[in-house]
């Protein structure tokens, strides 16, 4: 006779294997050791509040919200955890730090380092660390160190670390993380640059860190000393807004007036397929445009009547003198699922803004679309702009981020 518990365990095992096969097929997992870790760790034990099918879906499980309903802690989507573990290249015997706890990712890391390695996970929220400790023990990963602290200072008592994986969205890389990284170590961190978040795999190169890989990624924002909020300028209630990650001067009333004016459309001739990612274009625009920001809109028909950006969450936009332009696209061949990039503009200088944005879309298509990815580096302290004329410099609190294109 099969017990209910045994049947549930068998069902969880089967769902876990299906998830791994899905991650392999999508290319999120390529390394056999990462696949083995995902096959071994029972994800449902770290998300007991949802059904088994949801625990093994390739999606985020939200576990805590703030008073406004915003997610502040979650079990990240498996595809993203897999991508970051692939970026980290963890091997047996390593000493690793995870910044931002949930338990599940730390268990995956523990599988990768094996009994000869050590994993420490840290979080600023006692509810989160209590939960992580409880679930890690239940799942058989009691050897993972769980620390309650503001991770801006790292976890010096278990340093140095061969690998640091950050599972919260951050705006800067604090000095403690550099100090606690071994000489040949690697940091994997979802860093926000001009509003865009990318998971960077960083290694030391002289006195700075350089990316050896970067992937599009989004996480709940870090809390504590490292928190750094974007500025949101609303243009039509809560339906349309511009997000700024720097200190640009903004004439809010002029932009609101511009939104009410008829829009200008300019099309680029640059086409793409329905499944082709265009995060490289977004990063190029963030690199090449000075008055760069991001346009967001609510997922309502009323908001779409006002603006129709390439992505409702965050689309590159160019600020002008009393107006703005933003990236859009439209379908040109339904059978082939082919689309064309264009720009919509509002305001007295809409023509100039749309032309400028379309020009940069064409530059990306001609010079960077099929070439090497951008080179992203992080330098301690400020850098003189005159010494880096072909590079976008992004000043941060502790560092300067540089983005250049081969």
Structure confidence at residue 390 (pLDDT): 85
Q: What is the mean pLDDT of residues 140-153?
A: 98
Architecture in CATH for domain 69-226: 3-Layer(aba) Sandwich (3.40)
Q: What is the mean pLDDT of residues 237-266?
A: 95
Q: Are 344 and 320 in contact (CB under 8 A)?
A: no
Instruction: Assess whether pLDDT exceeds 70 at residue 7.
Output: no
Instruction: Assess whether pLDDT exceeds 50 at residue 4.
Output: no
Instruction: Assess whether pLDDT exceeds 50 at residue 270.
Output: yes
**Residue among 28, 74, 76, 377 flagged as catalytic:** 76
Instruction: Assess whether pLDDT exceeds 50 at residue 1.
Output: no
Q: How far apart are CA 367 and CA 191, in angstroms?
A: 25
Residue 384's CB is within 10 A of a number of other CB atoms, namely 8
Could you identify the residue written with the tokens 């928190």? 227
Instruction: Assess whether pLDDT exceeds 70 at residue 313.
Output: yes
Whether residue 160 is preceded by a cis peptide bond, meaning omega within 30 degrees of 0, is: yes
Instruction: Assess whether pLDDT exceeds 70 at residue 266.
Output: yes
Structure confidence at residue 303 (pLDDT): 94
Instruction: Assess whether pLDDT exceeds 60 at residue 305.
Output: yes
Residue 324: closest CA among 359, 294, 287: 294
9 band by pLDDT with thresholds 50, 70 and 90: confident
Q: What is the mean pLDDT of residues 71-93?
A: 89
Alpha carbon distances (Å) from 172 to 96, 121, 163, 216 = 20, 19, 18, 17
Per cent of the chain over pLDDT 70 is 95
Could you identify the residue written with the tokens 């800067």? 172
Q: How far apart are CA 259 and CA 307, in angstroms?
A: 8
2 band by pLDDT with thresholds 50, 70 and 90: very low
Q: How far apart are CA 5 and CA 10, in angstroms?
A: 9
Instruction: Assess whether pLDDT exceeds 80 at residue 73.
Output: no
Average pLDDT of every residue of the chain = 93
Establish whether 76 is a catalytic residue: yes
Instruction: Assess whether pLDDT exceeds 80 at residue 74.
Output: no
Name which of 206-210, 310-314, 338-342, 388-392 the model is least confident about: 388-392
Structure confidence at residue 3 (pLDDT): 43
Residues in the chain: 406
If one compares 328 and 336, the residue with the highest pLDDT of the two is: 328
Residue 245: closest CA among 293, 290, 314: 293
Could you identify the residue written with the tokens 């660390």? 129
pTM above 0.85, yes or no: yes
């Amino acid at each position: 006779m099969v017990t209910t518990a045994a049947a549930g365990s068998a069902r969880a095992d089967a769902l876990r294997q299906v998830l791994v096969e899905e991650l392999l097929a999508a290319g999120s997992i390529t390394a056999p050791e990462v696949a083995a870790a995902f096959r071994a760790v029972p994800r449902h034990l770290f998300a007991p509040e949802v059904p088994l099918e949801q625990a093994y879906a390739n999606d985020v499980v939200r576990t805590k919200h703030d008073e406004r309903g915003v997610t502040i802690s979650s079990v990240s989507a498996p595809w993203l955890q897999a991508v970051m573990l692939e970026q980290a290249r963890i091997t047996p015997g390593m000493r690793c730090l995870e910044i931002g706890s949930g338990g599940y990712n730390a268990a995956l890391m523990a599988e990768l380092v094996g009994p000869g390695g050590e994993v420490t996970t840290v979080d600023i929220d006692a509810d989160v660390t209590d939960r992580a400790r409880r679930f890690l023990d239940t799942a058989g990963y009691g050897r993972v160190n769980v620390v309650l602290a503001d991770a801006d200072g790292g976890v010096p008592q278990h340093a140095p670390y061969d690998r640091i994986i950050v599972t919260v969205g951050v705006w800067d890389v604090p000095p403690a993380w550099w100090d606690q990284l071994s000489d040949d170590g690697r940091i994997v961190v979802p860093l926000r640059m001009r509003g865009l978040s990318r998971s960077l795999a960083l290694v030391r190169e002289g006195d700075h860190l350089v990316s050896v890989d970067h992937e599009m990624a989004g996480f709940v924002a870090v809390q504590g000393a490292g928190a750094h909020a974007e500025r949101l300028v609303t243009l039509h209630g809560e339906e349309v807004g511009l997000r700024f990650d720097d200190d640009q001067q903004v004439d809010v009333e002029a932009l609101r007036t511009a939104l009410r004016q008829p829009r200008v459309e300019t099309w680029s001739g640059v086409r793409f397929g329905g499944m082709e990612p265009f995060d490289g274009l977004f990063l190029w625009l963030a690199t090449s445009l000075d008055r760069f920001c991001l346009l967001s809109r609510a997922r309502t028909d009323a908001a779409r009547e006002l603006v129709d950006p390439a992505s409702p969450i965050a689309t590159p936009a160019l600020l002008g003198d009393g107006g703005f332009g933003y990236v859009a696209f439209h379908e040109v061949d339904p059978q082939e699922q082919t689309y064309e990039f264009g720009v919509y503009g509002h305001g007295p200088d809409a023509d100039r803004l749309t032309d400028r944005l379309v020009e940069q879309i064409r530059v990306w298509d001609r010079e960077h679309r099929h070439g090497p990815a951008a080179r992203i580096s992080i330098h301690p302290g400020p850098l003189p702009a005159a010494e880096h004329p072909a590079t976008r410099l992004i000043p941060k609190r502790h560092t300067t981020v540089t983005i250049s294109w081969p």
